[in-house]
Each structure stands twice: as C-alpha cells, then as structure tokens.
Chain A
Amino acid sequence: MKKARAFQKPTHLLIAFSLTLVWLLPSCDHTYLRAIDEMDSYTYSPTFAIPLFNSGLSFDELFLLGELDNIELDEDRMIILSYDARIFSMTADRLFSLPNQNQIINISGITPPPSGSITTDPQLFLITFDQNERLHYVLFDEGVFNLSLESPQMEQDGYQVEVSFRILNSDDGSGQQIQGSASLGDPNPGQTNLAGSSISFGDDSPNVFAVEYTLTFSGNGTPNNAPYTLQLTNSLREMEFDYLEGYIDQISFPIGSADIPLSIFNNSFDGSIYFEDPNIEFFIQNTFGLEIDLITDEISAILANDSIRPITGSAFDTPWRVVPPPDSTYQIINRNNTDLFDITLDSPRRLNYEVSGFTNPDGLTPQRNWVSKESDLAIDMRVNLPLYGRIDYFYLKDTIPAALSELPDELEWIELTAITTNEFPFSVELFIELIDENDVVLDTLFNDQPRLLEAGITDPVTGITTTPSESQTQVLVDESIIGALLKTDKMILNALISTHDSDAGSVVKLLDNYRVNVELKARGKGSFTIDFE
C-alpha cells in the first residue's frame, strides 16, 4: 500500500511515461520506407512440378511412320510393314496398233454400155504388218475407208462413172455391210467412216478381206478409146481398234526401272534387323488376251552407302509367265527362293528393279490373241517386312531442326523423369546431341542413362510379349545444358534398339496391340526477376 500511495503522485507516472517516450523516439526507423523506393528488383524463384505427358503409344506413333507406310496385320495381329508401288502399267495402244494401209486395183477392158452398170468380181484387200501379225477380226473404234478413181481416157471421151463398193464379211454396226462410193473426176475421195464397224477375216486367210465394186456409167460419152482401164485407189486411215482377234506376234517391251524407298531403314546408322520372313509380292493384272513373259533383268537393293546388292535366287531362273484373263498372276520372292533375307540384314534404303515383257512367248498357237482398247498390263509390287525377328543392335540416327533460342532463359534447371511401361519386345537407349549452327556438339542429353525403354519379356516359343517392363529415366537439365539448348540449331537423336533376349538368338513378334505407356514429368526451377525501376 505504501507503493500504491507512491504511485498516486502523478509525477512518478509522468516521469515513467516520459522515459518511455524517450525510449521510443530514438527507435525511429524509416529506412524501410526508403528501401522500398530504392529497391531495384525482386527475384521470384518458384519450383514447379508438372506432368507433361501421360500417354500410350502404338507402333505407328512410336516410329512416326504416318503416311509413309502401310501397316498390315496377320491373323495374330502381327504387324507387317508394307511398301506398295505400281511399277508398271501398259495400255493396249502402247502394245499394238493398226498401221495405215493402201491398195490400188486396176480394172481394165472396160467398154462402157450406153447406160447401166458393171459389177466386178470380189477384189482382195491385204492388210500388211511389219512382223507376223495375223488379224482375224477387228472392231473399229475409229478409222476411215477412202476410195478414189482415176481414168483419164474415159474422162476425155466424156464418160461419167460412179463406183460403189461393199466389203464382204463386214458389218457397219447396223447389220449392213460396210459400203461407200466415189465418182470419177471428183478431186475428193469417197470416205466411209469405220467407227463401230467390224470386219471378219477368213480363218485361213488372215489379214485379207474382199471388196466388191459396182461401176455405173452415165453421160454422153463416145467410146473413141475403148476399152478403158479404171484405177481404184483404196486406203485405210487412222484406224483404232475397239477389239481385235488374231495374233499380235512376239513383242518385247521394257517395263522400266524405278526405286522403292524403304522408310523403316531411313535413319538406320548401324546394326541389323533380322526379319524372319521378308518378302516381295508381285500382283500382275493382265487384261490382254495373250500370254506375256516378265523377265526380271535385275531386282536389287540399294544400301546406305549407295552400294548395290542384286537380289538373286531361283525365283528369277525362269521368266514369270503372265496368263490371260480370267486368271491373274501372282509371284512372291522370299528367303526360300532368293537371298532377300540376307539383304535385309544390310538395312537397304530402297529397292530397284529392271524388268521387261515379252508377248506370245510360245509363238503362234491355235489360241487366238485378243486385245480390247481397255486392255492393259499392270504390275504392282509390295515389299512386306513382317515384324517377326530379332534386333541385336540397331542404331538409328536422325537429325531434326531445333531452334530453341526462345526457350525461357529464366529457367534455372529442369529435371525430367520418364517412367515407361513397355509391351514392345525391344529396348531403346537414347541420347541426344545438341548441335549449334557451326555443327559443333554443344552438349549431350541422356548420356550415360539407363535404357529409356526396357524390352517387354516375351514367350520364347511364340515370341509374343507376356510381361511388360517398367523403366525410369531421369535427367537433370542444369544451367549449362540450358545454355547449350539456347544455342542449339539442331539435335541429333541417337537410338540404340535391341529386342528381348537377342543375345540368346530369341526372335520376337511385334503385335499391333502392343503399347508403351510414357509418363513424362518435369520439375523445374525458374528465376524471374521483377524489375521495379
């Protein structure tokens, strides 16, 4: 209570509070306010973790085959890479044509009656060819039969003559014989259109048809110089057939040569893929009514170094006989009849062929040839690479442009982690070289990393994956690598591929339903400076 009374004196308390103020006043500190004004920047450094990708990849997506290749499946859904190409197509007009024909017939000993007409005996018209073609029947798609007359004496003696003709064993398309006429003294020949008309030649007299002429006289001529001779000039022009029968002789024609790219090997750098059953199929569609032999002068594989390896084997010992319709012709070359298997080990980039054709290889036979204007010979080739085999060591290398200068330079580091679950029975090791514009290697990503993909485990008997394999790859992209990325002009992707248990010689099958699931996640630290000025 004594103390309490002491505090009743205000001076004590006032002194106490004054001292408090004295203590507080020196503590004035406005430096922080000035600091806010003077602060230049603030660096913001978050670390984020995000999932980039989580996706299943099919074979097509994994190898970016896209539109280049067809994928076929067998009954087990095994993938067959197919490369299709039409290597030859020939239409009828390129194989056989009807040449123009001329024939002059002189009718002599003509003593014209005052009026009336004279009919001649049938005159033979022979169609000639360079070779041994034999024509038994022709249906014209186009063509003209021309007839012109010449007899100067008769004209001088004042006779007017008109000559009509008809082709025996012919049909103008309406059931009538082909016929026409011409007049003496007419500078233009008489023309008869043959389109739609047909002529049947005798079985024993191919290439020959008969024409009957009728001469009709008129006018007031006097037979001062009788008997007269009348010259009939006949010609067949611009003939195109719609259909013909006969024998077109033995014609040799080139099928040509071309390259067929095999894109799966495009980026192969080293190593081999053992395809158990590579094969090339030929689908030959012949709508000519005759047999044709295909003679393979050469089918070869072009390797990465542009060297050529001819494909040889019993498949090429004899020409391939192409039969007439309705049958079609199919040929296959594989490891049984060629050395194709060995050649695929060299990862050929493309195939090249040189083939020629030869009609009526057995010469003249009782069986007539026939050709229509729609007839053609088409040869399609398909290279099949069934993905059934083994890869001991296959090195793919590809260069891709990569201008990464716009990569945010605020990144301090990125840690990429890929977790894969792989059903494909092959493993993949990957490393990426960063190349600048002067082709200098700046840095390498994924170097000394475990396999990006671990091969799925396969059944040794069927070669089919029974257990998918999981693997995890982690790479730290630090400041130095980011610096390299900023200068990168292109990247070289290097991939080493091998199939499961290839050391033991196991073969595997790639099925269409295999997937590799990739989870790609990233941690990254940024350093963003906010400038206050």
Chain B
Amino acid sequence: MTAKNIRILRKGWIILLVFLGINMASNAQQYHTMYWMQGIPQSTFANPGLQPNPNYFIGFPGISSIYTGVSHSGFAPFDLIKKSSDTTFYIDDRAMLAKLKERNYLAFDLSVDILGFGFRAKKKNYFTFGIRERVTTRLGYSKDLLKLAIEGNDGFASRNETANIDILSMDMSHYREFAVGFSRKWTPKITAGTRVKILQGMSNVQFMRTDIGFFTAPDNFNILLNADLLINKSFPFTLAPLENVADREFTALTQDDYINYLINQQNMGVAFDLGISYNPGNRFTLAASAVDLGFITWKSDVENFAAKGELDFKGLDFDQIFTSEDDDDPFEGVTDSIIDLFDIQETTNAYRTAMSSKLFVSAAYNLTRMHKFAVLGKGEIYQGTLYPSLTVSYNFQPINRFGSTFSWSMIHGNIYNFGFGAHVNIFPLQIYMVVDNFFPAMQPHTVQTFTFHFGVNIAAGFGRKKDLTTPSFRWF
C-alpha cells in the first residue's frame, strides 16, 4: 500500500471516527438529574409537558447544549477486577459473567445544539425551536456470547443449551434534528406538550438481524451453528463486494464530499416527544413523557448485507485425513463450509431505523418552594428489551437564578450513581452543568453510566410563577 493510499484510507477512517465521535449523544440521553430542573430550558428535552421557568431563552449557537454520555448495561469495572488483598487485584471473569444480563449493550452518545430558543406566550403556552446534531452508538451483545468466549462451549453442552448470540449488534446513527415544541397549560392542573422533530439522517450502520445460535450437543458434541444476518449501512463508502474490502483503495474525499455529507437530505425521518404534567393542587406533581418516538428512512449510499445458513459439524471424516496430502489442511472443508454459510448477499434496498424510545414517569413533592423531592422511573427500549432505571432527586432552588439538584439513581442494577446539577443565571446569561454520575470521580471502578451535560443560554423572564411545580422565589 502506498503512502498516498494510506493517507486516503486514513482520511476515510477519520471521517468515520468523527462520525462515531459525534455520535456519542442522542438516543441514550439520560436526564435522570435534569428532569425536574426547570430552571434549565433544556430540561424540556425529557418532557415537553414541563414548561421551563424562564419566559424566554436563546441558546448560544454551538454551546447551548453539549451532551455526552457513556452507559454500559452489562457490568462495572469492579465486577471484573477483584481485590485479593489491599494491593493485589485479579481479573475475575466468572464474576463478571454472573453480573451480566441476558442482553447487554454499551452506548456512546453525543449531542450538540446548533440552535435553540423558546418563549412563553400568553402565560399558558410555551414554544421551543431547536436544531441539534445527534449521534448514537450502541453495541449490543448477549451474555451467552461472552460466556461462550470465556467459559467455552462445554458448559452449554452439559446444560443442553444453545448459546444465543442473537443480539450481537452495532447500531450507529448520525443525524440532525429540527424540532418545534409546544406546550400549554390546558387547565390549572394539567400541562401537556409535544415536540415534533424532522430528522435528517447522514450516516447509519444497523445490525437489523443477527440471529446466531451456537448449539453443542451434549452427547456427541456435534456443533450446530445457524445464522441469519442482515446488516444495513448508509454512509458514503461503498463496501461491496466484501471479500476484497480490506484490500480496496478508497478514493480521497473532497471538500464537496464533506459538504454533501452534511447536507444530505435523502435520509429523512420524523419523531415525536410527548409529555404531560399534572398538579392536583397540592404539593405533588405527577409527570410522564415519551421521547424519540419515530424513525428515519435511509436511502443514500445504502448497502444491505444478508447471510443465512446452517452448519452442522459432526467431526472430520477420516477420508479427509487419509486422502489429504501433507500440505493439505484437513479442516479446509470445515472452513469452506463456514464461508459458504456466510455466503453474503449484497443489495441496495432502502431501510428504516426506529429511534430508541424512552419513557419517563415521575412524581415530585414540593416540600417548600425551595425544596423539591422527586422520584423518576425511566425505561428505554433497545432491540425489544426494556432497560429500566430509577432516580431519586432533591432539587434545591432558593432563587430563580440559581438551582441545584442532587440525585441518586439505580441504572442497570448499579446503585453507585450520584448525580449533581446546577444552573446559575448572571443577569440573562445562564450557565448550567449536569452530571448524572459524579461518583466515578471518587470510585471509578463503580462506573457503568456517566453523562455530562453543559450549556450556555440567554434565559430571562423568571418570577411570575406561583405554582409549586416551579419554585423560584427566594433564598429562604
């Protein structure tokens, strides 16, 4: 490979990595701590039915909302690394396996608001507008996959179980969101709203179907491997034919290529956020929301790779040994069969990806106008599996121009999630920062989820709220 080709390839990988890096946002946004921080306009991302406290806001372009998050549903570092003494550690892969759920995923997310603003109209209505760059990455894997790799297939054979590798997946999307939100205080007790989002997809990789089963018969150890795969991709590199993709020389990307990538309008989609809050007139407020209900249809630079087959390996035939020459590999027939099994069919059909939807249900109790306690239940659906989490938070807002929240969450069964958020308004300039888990700073081995949300807005128009859902009056 020449130096030029290496440079070209490197450019290609760089754009792919940028795409992945940018992608660390969006669908898996957590909002555990921010949900009730109505002093921050971006809190409406989790529930458009909860109106923010400022009567209007304008986000600073590019920095009004920067979110990044990592989440692993499988295990925390201390599930894998164990202490045998104060100074001696070892890797306990079996303990890690015991911690895994049947289905697990690793998520990297990033979102950046390009533009955002909103305002209250006629006291009851609130409008928001925004343009966000969102990227999401999910790596899904089953417990059986790691179990097979770490323990081997002997345990499966003795238990007469199939090792299910069916959620082995890598889903990545980079898209842009054009959102218009509206909420209204329909009655003195009920506020409800929605956000309509037009989605402009730029690139995607989707493991749409990865049904892989690996069965070892308990009596004779015959191995039955069946696979039904469908992988879609939409990004400006042609991968087909796959057999020589590693040796392919990719052409250099031009400036126009980058521009065309960013303004690509062939992959369009739509999504909705719905939210409602109910205040019966006492200190309680109930809220519920569903966000990212939608899809994107991918049409540009689409390639689909499908494979389906079954391999039943019962052992080598003696003929393969007796008839093979010295240089022949007797396992060649087996490897050929596996290659045949993955005889990949390549097509270019458009496909659709669903947003990873989230459901929030929450109840808040306003102890006083300054102090609010809340419980938040969140459920996220990925590949047909609901991943629930629970958050308890304490919101302290002595004045409209300052608010803070402390939270504790149980996410993926991990209880070591302590969050903190705060916003400060210096005249109209608002700076906010929210982390869903600062505990890793003290005990990094406990981390499974970490998010960081930061932004700068111009937000003003506080002070007219009297209701208990928006305490914002005074220090004491």
Known: A13-B396, A17-B406. Contact between A52 and B153, CB under 8 A? no
Known: A13-B396, A24-B442, A29-B442. Contact between A50 and B149, CB under 8 A? no
A7 proximity list for chain B (CB < 8 A): 367-368, 371
B90 proximity list for chain A (CB < 8 A): 39
The count of residues in chain B whose C-beta lies closer than 8 Å to any C-beta of chain A is 47
**Of A28, A36, A523, which contacts B154 at CB under 8 A?**
A523
The stretch that binds A, out of B46-54, B191-199, B315-323, B346-354, is B315-323
B442 proximity list for chain A (CB < 8 A): 24-25, 27-29
Can you report 10 residue pairs joining A to B where beta carbons are below 8 Å apart?
A: A7-B367, A9-B476, A10-B396, A28-B443, A29-B443, A49-B152, A49-B154, A50-B223, A57-B318, A521-B220
A57 proximity list for chain B (CB < 8 A): 318
**Of B86, B314, B398, which contacts A54 at CB under 8 A?**
B314
Chain A residues 517-531 with CB under 8 Å of chain B are: 518-523, 525
Given A7-B371, A54-B316, A55-B319, 8 further pairs, Cβ under 8 A: A31-B87, A32-B443, A39-B81, A49-B221, A50-B221, A52-B316, A55-B317, A523-B154
B171 CB within 8 Å of chain A? no
**Of A20, A24, A29, A419, which contacts B220 at CB under 8 A?**
A419
* The 8 residue pairs across chains A and B that have the minimum distance between CB atoms: A46-B152, A54-B315, A32-B445, A35-B89, A51-B315, A47-B154, A55-B318, A54-B314
Is B476 touching A10 in the complex (CB atoms < 8 A)?
yes
A4 CB within 8 Å of chain B? yes
> Bound complex: CA of A54 vs CA of B219, how far in Å?
13
Is B152 touching A521 in the complex (CB atoms < 8 A)?
no
A61 CB within 8 Å of chain B? yes
**Of A25, A27, A28, A51, which contacts B221 at CB under 8 A?**
A51
> Bound complex: CA of A114 vs CA of B418, how far in Å?
154
Q: Mark B140-167, 1 if CB is under 8 A from A, else 0.
A: 0000000001111111010000000000
Is B319 touching A51 in the complex (CB atoms < 8 A)?
no
A46 proximity list for chain B (CB < 8 A): 149-152, 154
Is B475 touching A10 in the complex (CB atoms < 8 A)?
yes
Q: Mark A4-41, 1 if CB is under 8 A from B, else 0.
A: 10011110010001001000110111111101101100
B475 proximity list for chain A (CB < 8 A): 10
CB distance from A8 to the nearest CB of B (A): 5
Is B152 touching A10 in the complex (CB atoms < 8 A)?
no
Q: Mark B439-466, 1 if CB is under 8 A from A, else 0.
A: 1001111000000000000000000000
A253 CB within 8 Å of chain B? no
Is B81 touching A32 in the complex (CB atoms < 8 A)?
yes
> Bound complex: CA of A154 vs CA of B475, how far in Å?
169
> Chain B residue with minimal CB distance to A5?
B368
Chain A residues 354-387 with CB under 8 Å of chain B are: none
Q: Which residues of B contact A (CB under 8 A)?
A: 77-78, 81, 83, 86-87, 89-91, 93, 149-155, 157, 216, 220-223, 313-319, 322, 367-368, 370-371, 394, 396, 398, 406, 418, 439, 442-445, 475-476
B154 proximity list for chain A (CB < 8 A): 46-49, 523, 525
Known: A13-B396, A24-B418. Contact between A49 and B216, CB under 8 A? yes
Is B396 touching A54 in the complex (CB atoms < 8 A)?
no
CB distance from B184 to the nearest CB of A (A): 32
Is A32 touching B78 in the complex (CB atoms < 8 A)?
yes
A24 proximity list for chain B (CB < 8 A): 418, 439, 442
Known: A7-B371, A49-B216. Contact between A44 and B319, CB under 8 A? no
**Of B81, B222, B368, which contacts A35 at CB under 8 A?**
B81
A32 proximity list for chain B (CB < 8 A): 77-78, 81, 89, 443-445
B367 proximity list for chain A (CB < 8 A): 4, 7-8
> Chain B residue with minimal CB distance to A17?
B406
A330 proximity list for chain B (CB < 8 A): none
Most buried by A among B90, B153, B315, B322: B315
Is B89 touching A39 in the complex (CB atoms < 8 A)?
yes
Chain A residues 480-533 with CB under 8 Å of chain B are: 518-523, 525
B313 proximity list for chain A (CB < 8 A): 51
CB distance from B364 to the nearest CB of A (A): 15
Is A51 touching B220 in the complex (CB atoms < 8 A)?
yes
> Chain A residue with minimal CB distance to B217?
A51
A54 proximity list for chain B (CB < 8 A): 220, 222, 314-317
CB distance from A40 to the nearest CB of B (A): 10
A29 proximity list for chain B (CB < 8 A): 442-443, 445
Is B89 touching A521 in the complex (CB atoms < 8 A)?
no
> Chain A residue with minimal CB distance to B87?
A31
**Of B81, B91, B223, which contacts A51 at CB under 8 A?**
B223
B93 proximity list for chain A (CB < 8 A): 42, 44
Most buried by A among B318, B367, B418: B318
> Chain B residue with minimal CB distance to A35?
B89
CB distance from B168 to the nearest CB of A (A): 18
Is A53 touching B371 in the complex (CB atoms < 8 A)?
no
Is B315 touching A8 in the complex (CB atoms < 8 A)?
no
> Chain A residue with minimal CB distance to B317?
A55
> Bound complex: CA of A332 vs CA of B443, how far in Å?
94
> Chain B residue with minimal CB distance to A28?
B442
Is A10 touching B78 in the complex (CB atoms < 8 A)?
no
Most buried by B among A27, A51, A52: A51
CB distance from B387 to the nearest CB of A (A): 25
B220 proximity list for chain A (CB < 8 A): 51, 54, 419, 519, 521
> Bound complex: CA of A17 vs CA of B418, how far in Å?
12
CB distance from A25 to the nearest CB of B (A): 7
CB distance from B14 to the nearest CB of A (A): 28
> Bound complex: CA of A17 vs CA of B394, how far in Å?
10
**Of A9, A33, A47, which contacts B155 at CB under 8 A?**
A47
B444 proximity list for chain A (CB < 8 A): 30, 32-33
> Chain A residue with minimal CB distance to B150?
A46
Q: Mark A461-496, 1 if CB is under 8 A from B, else 0.
A: 000000000000000000000000000000000000
> Bound complex: CA of A52 vs CA of B150, how far in Å?
21
Is A49 touching B157 in the complex (CB atoms < 8 A)?
yes
> Chain A residue with minimal CB distance to B93?
A44
CB distance from B398 to the nearest CB of A (A): 7
> Chain A residue with minimal CB distance to B86?
A31
> Chain B residue with minimal CB distance to A8?
B368
> Chain A residue with minimal CB distance to B149?
A46
Most buried by B among A48, A56, A61: A48
A523 proximity list for chain B (CB < 8 A): 154, 221
Is A8 touching B223 in the complex (CB atoms < 8 A)?
no
CB distance from B427 to the nearest CB of A (A): 24
